Amino acid sequence: KPSGIYPSCQWEDRAIRRLVGDGKLSARLTGNDTRSTGADRECPICFLHYSQTNVTSCCQAYICTECYLQVRPQKEKHSSCPFCNHYKLAVRVAKDMNNEDITKRNEEEQCVIEAMIKAS
């Protein structure tokens, strides 16, 4: 079921359900403006947070299913990665974040905040 952030999707619902059911694509979830849990990831395209995302094979960037379906048209054989411009965009379901991953991300975010404060 579409999350509603895009007005339309060129993919057939049956094809999406098959990819999700086969574990090749994360579920179509409704994103949140903020993290619901510490393990949520932010999609760098729509800037919404999701409990389950996909990760690109080329540059390991996270992308929600709705954005993936927009940047990777079903009828096209290949589509380039919106992050690194690799000629063949492919994704897999991202692993859940463990406590170590969450701590590392929080530390990196804190460093960015501190750098922004120093720069201003």
Could you tell me the residue ranges of all domains in the chain? 13-95
Q: At 50, is the secondary structure helix, strand, or coil?
A: strand
Query: For residue range 33-89, what is the model confidence (pLDDT) as tens digits?
Result: 999 998 999 999 999 999 999 999 999 999 999 999 999 988 887 899 999 999 999
- Taking the CA atoms of the chain, what radius of gyration do you get in angstroms? 15
pLDDT of residue 14: 95
Residue 47 in tokens: 């800037």
pLDDT of residue 113: 94
Alpha helices for the chain (secondary structure H): 13-21, 65-71, 99-119
Confidence of residue 1 (pLDDT cuts 50, 70, 90): low
Confidence of residue 7 (pLDDT cuts 50, 70, 90): confident
Q: pTM value? A: 0.85
pLDDT of residue 4: 72
Level-2 CATH architecture, domain 13-95? 2-Layer Sandwich (3.30)
Length of the chain: 120
One-letter amino acid of 78: H
Instruction: Inform me whether the pLDDT recorded for 120 exceeds 90.
Output: no
Q: Comparing C-alpha atoms, which of 5, 74, 77 is closest to residue 43?
A: 5
